[in-house]
Structure 1
């Protein structure tokens, strides 16, 4: 995907070498689309099926099989309880235990449905209450330590109520601060692990053998199938696409040290390119859909401005993006996510994934584009320093 001459339209080349031109590009690939497969010694020597949970091989039957699951994060928590009912045995390899909260979920009854039908406002109030709970949780994850302690207490009680074995509870007890990694919600994960159909191995893997897994202590455990529940390469935004903007600048080069975008939506020198679920728009709690809706409204306003000025493209000012990114980095360094290694962070310790605050604040920031943060340029003059022609207010 390129805009190498500093002009629109953009030129998109697909993996089948089809060329498409367009005036505006909206990337909606998000953060959780590229599976992370860990590098494990001798993985290719394993003779059975191996696949990532996001690329599930439906041709593989797990019935009667010894299944090795690698990873205990948000991916594994969704499928382990289900495959435990089908496989002969599941061996779950865990490096670090996650914080797990009870899933406050129940079937709606006839009375609830009837009230919602007669009083639509009641459903809106219920939705507001759920949203407000997660907004408070978002504050917890950033800098409210008392609320964080409450979160940890709820999670520990949930673990004690669902797992009877003291030794297993100890292995499942997280050592990180609550919220430092992804907080999970489940009512069936702990019971599955506590059953005789699942074995928890809290040890790192040394290598895969032709018919099983060997951990760092030298112990071998047989396996017919290996499933990676290891999440996604969340910090590799837009990968594996190659994106070039004004004057041929590479987005990968711009993001070499850390990915950033103004409001998570626009990047300087990439005119008419808009991102959904871009850098620092993931939420530690609440609905990502609420964030995406805010982005869609913002992008729609920018596209209307482009449409109202034929022959022009919109670009975010470099100083606006840098100022925004500096404030964001400062706040993220004080957040709970800075306390441990996770998929939220890069190897350098930066956090290019999460939004450090309530979703309402983000909605207010994106509600209306500020004309001083954007510039409309003639498509033939998209070089840095060229004078802007109309403004968004025109």
Structure 2
């Protein structure tokens, strides 16, 4: 199972055959669950690649939209009223009020990694302020200016496909090695160098340009400065190359870590 899930990584390469195949398959599934309702399918079918946003909805969601006691409305909301919701239908028509007994707002959630509690590190650096706009960490584990601070599934963690347990186990091994070193060698604190975090994230963003996750469909395509050959010559993480292992390229066993 781990081997199969880990193969899904190639789905996220924008324009890849795997991406196109999955997009076609998901489209067929959506149309089937919508009961062949062409108009509803056209309104719900995403125009962005699979994986650009979290893969959803779950089982039963599309079926529910096609139920007889459900009306799917896509008109913009003008305002909430004392009786329900006022929406704006197509041009040349007036707003329509839909009366409701209960209104549930589902507008997403905060995906910023900044902690909910005050976290102050070297030179009074606040992690909440440091990560207010963009979050950067080393391997998704360590934050700059934060001594002895380790996290799981932080910024740029090896997540997005496959099993979470393998990534958590690798992170645990790394963190425990540092804990052992600190405890046994008289080290008071360790902190990742800011320039290391900067270069790791430069490399990460350059690699992500090839993946569909990097496409921000709400605000256009996100870009970073193109590093080209400079990446391989100057960035310490250039040795990571294309980001693909020999096992993946040769079709090897991708769940090998379970044997350890």
Identify the TM-score tier after normalising by the shorter chain: 0.7 to 0.9
Task: Tell me by how many angstroms 1:324 deviates.
Answer: 0.9
Matched, 1:259 2:121: no
Q: Hey, what's the Cα distance between the residues in 1 that align with 2:29 and 2:221?
A: 34
Matched, 1:133 2:4: yes
What are the ranges of 5 or more consecutive residues in structure 2 without an aligned counterpart?
90-94, 225-241, 249-256
Identify the structure with the greater helix proportion. Answer: 2
Equivalent in the alignment of 1:337: 213
Task: Tell me by how many angstroms 1:292 deviates.
Answer: 2.2
> For 2:72, what is the secondary structure of its paired residue?
strand
Matched, 1:169 2:41: yes
What aligned pairs does 1:92-241 form with structure 2 within 5 A after superposition?
A: 130-143=1-14, 145-164=16-35, 165-184=37-56, 186-217=58-89, 218-235=95-112, 237-241=113-117
Matched, 1:283 2:155: no
Q: CA RMSD in A?
A: 3.1
Q: 1:145 to 1:199 in 2, by over 3 A?
A: same
Q: Deviations over 1:19-54 (max 9, x none)?
A: xxxxxxxxxxxxxxxxxxxxxxxxxxxxxxxxxxxx
Q: 1:168 to 1:276 in 2, by over 3 A?
A: same
Q: Hey, what's the Cα distance between the residues in 1 that align with 2:221 and 2:29?
A: 34
Q: Hey, what's the Cα distance between the residues in 1 that align with 2:159 and 2:78?
A: 33
Q: Deviations over 1:220-254 (max 9, x none)?
A: 2122222233332112x134322110121122333
Q: 1:256 to 1:350 in 2, by over 3 A?
A: farther
Mapped contact 1:243–1:251 kept (Cα < 8 A): yes
Q: Deviations over 1:69-94 (max 9, x none)?
A: xxxxxxxxxxxxxxxxxxxxxxxxxx
Q: Hey, what's the Cα distance between the residues in 2 that align with 1:138 and 1:268?
A: 29
Q: Deviations over 1:337-394 (max 9, x none)?
A: 232336xx9x99479xxxx978999xxxxx9xxxxxxxxxxxxxxxxxxxxxxxxxxx
Single out whichever of 257-266 and 280-289 deviates more from structure 2.
280-289
Mapped contact 2:48–2:217 kept (Cα < 8 A): no
Q: 1:288 to 1:185 in 2, by over 3 A?
A: farther
Equivalent in the alignment of 2:176: 300
2:126 to 230, 234, 250: 250
> For 2:129, what is the secondary structure of its paired residue?
helix
Identify the structure with the greater strand proportion. Answer: 1
Task: Tell me by how many angstroms 1:216 deviates.
Answer: 3.5
TM-score (norm 2): 0.75
Using CA pairs below 8 Å that are at least 6 residues apart, which structure has the higher relative contact order? 1
Task: Tell me by how many angstroms 1:178 deviates.
Answer: 2.2
Aligned residues: 226
Mapped contact 1:258–1:350 kept (Cα < 8 A): no
Q: 1:174 to 1:272 in 2, by over 3 A?
A: same
Q: Hey, what's the Cα distance between the residues in 2 that align with 1:248 and 1:196?
A: 59
> For 1:200, what is the secondary structure of its paired residue?
coil
Q: Deviations over 1:148-185 (max 9, x none)?
A: 11011111111222222222222221122222211236
What are the ranges of 5 or more consecutive residues in structure 1 without an aligned counterpart?
1-129, 362-366, 368-394
Mapped contact 1:268–1:315 kept (Cα < 8 A): yes
Mapped contact 1:176–1:340 kept (Cα < 8 A): no
Task: Tell me by how many angstroms 1:147 deviates.
Answer: 0.9
TM-score (norm 1): 0.51
Matched, 1:317 2:181: no
Mapped contact 1:138–1:357 kept (Cα < 8 A): no
